[in-house]
Amino acid sequence: MKRRVAITGIGLVSGLGIGTEATWSGLLAGKSGIAPITHFDTTDFTVKIAGEVKGFDPQTWIDKKEIKKMDPFIQFAVAASQFAMDSSRLKITPAIATRVGVHIGSGIGGFSTIEREHTELMRGGPRRISPFFIPSSIVNLAAGHVSIRFGAKGPNTSTCTACSSGSHAVGDSFRIIARGEADAMICGGSEAAITPMSVGGFARMLALSVRNDEPERASRPFDKNRNGFVIGEGAGVLILEELEMARWRGATIFAEIVGYGMSGDAFHITQPSEDGDGAFRVMNNAIMDAGIQPQEVDYINAHGTSTPFNDKFETLAIKRAFGAHAYKLAVSSTKSMTGHLLGAAGGLEGGISALALHHQIIPPTINYETPDPDCDLDYTPNTTRQAELNYVLSNSFGFGGTNAALLLKRYQE
């Protein structure tokens, strides 16, 4: 019998604000974190907007001498982990250190560091490369730094599955605890990919919105006039614990994780399958893993990227997975406010889903103005909604056809 797993800590860093409260209050207010890019000169770029984390000072969390050893994606992960640990009040003592692990994913890793060090190589040869280049940029060093910071000596790993990375990290951590291989996990995703190569590359794919004159209105999931996603940055980190451990120490339990699904499209390197099959199966797998019926799900925090294909086919998949109940449940995409955090999206949105359950509030899909006949569900348009929520599903889909879904349950004594 698998052990029950609780979410006891949530740490969020996003374009809406630094910290869980700042991000959550921004979501409930229907604010947009999208603005003109300031990280680099966009003069020659077709895309000039993003969901940048504003006013982030790494010295708030990291010793000055250590900052140069960390790409911003690691810095975001450290900050989000600190917020999560503070909210959980979990103390990793020597007695439990080997039973606490870390699993933090990223879709790209240290993109800005890679770009900077390549420039140095081209400018002055290999002697110009920083000795901190490799540990600053590789994907698993977010988990590495977090484990060192808190003394977590249990499973230490990372996943790099594009935009499903954060959800896979949380789901895999759920299973690690359920199997008894750890009692607690610090898990989620982090990304800092608002860089010239990244923005330029996604723009060349025609994946990004070019609504540069209206940044706050650019991300518009499920709206008929959507024209691409808006790249964001930040991190979402959760503290998962075996339920009896959390109860024993009197932790706040935001939600339980009760189901986790994985699937592959086996269709196309970047486009979702046209019948929504991979998305349908991943939701169905999470529901079956939880042992509930589809009609028990009350709300879906959708992948909802604001691209023409994703939103159409995710809607199709939801209707296939839930049948008539698809028209009764609430759906929303918080990417309308945060932008798309790529590998960090699942960690961020897993935390948002837990907060929705805890507070019994559904954050909206903002910028929903013109209905699309292909997207005909209840997307919680523009306004926060109070609701009775017992089960919430969080979807993440990535390039390469890799999909993850997390099913969360309201915790009640």
Checking if the pLDDT of 249 tops 90, the result is: yes
Q: How confident is the model at residue 393 (pLDDT cuts 50, 70, 90)?
A: very high
Could you tell me which of 392, 85, 355, 353 has the C-alpha nearest to residue 241?
A: 85
Checking if the pLDDT of 413 tops 80, the result is: no
pLDDT of residue 274: 86
Q: How confident is the model at residue 244 (pLDDT cuts 50, 70, 90)?
A: very high
Q: Tell me the β-bridge partners of 375.
A: 372
SS3 22: helix
Checking if the pLDDT of 273 tops 90, the result is: no
Same fold, 7-248 and 260-409: yes
- Which residue spans within 231-290 are E strands per DSSP? 234-242, 255-264
Average of per-residue pLDDT values in the chain: 97
Element (H, E) at 184: strand 184-191
pLDDT of residue 412: 86
Checking if the pLDDT of 396 tops 80, the result is: yes
**Each residue of 2-17: pLDDT tens digit?**
899 999 999 999 999 9
- Report domain extents, the chain: 7-248, 260-409
Element (H, E) at 105: strand 100-105
Q: How confident is the model at residue 199 (pLDDT cuts 50, 70, 90)?
A: very high
pLDDT of residue 2: 87
**Each residue of 327-366: pLDDT tens digit?**
999 999 999 999 999 999 999 999 999 999 999 999 999 9
Q: Which of the following CATH numbers is that of domain 7-248: 1.50.10.20, 3.40.190.10, 3.40.47.10, 3.40.50.300?
A: 3.40.47.10
SS3 354: helix
Q: Which tokens hold the place of 249?
A: 């120490």
Of the chain, the percentage scoring pLDDT greater than 70 comes to: 100
Cα–Cα dist 34/169, whole Å: 26
Residues identified as active-site:
163, 303, 340
DSSP 320: H
This prediction has a pTM of: 0.98
Checking if the pLDDT of 39 tops 90, the result is: yes
CATH architecture type of domain 260-409? 3-Layer(aba) Sandwich (3.40)
Q: Is 393 exposed, middle or buried (0-12, 13-18, 19+ CB in 10 A)?
A: buried
**Each residue of 181-192: pLDDT tens digit?**
999 999 999 999
Q: Which tokens hold the place of 27?
A: 């979501």
pLDDT of residue 144: 98
Checking if the pLDDT of 280 tops 90, the result is: yes
**Each residue of 115-135: pLDDT tens digit?**
999 999 999 999 999 999 999
Checking if the pLDDT of 139 tops 80, the result is: yes
Checking if the pLDDT of 411 tops 80, the result is: yes
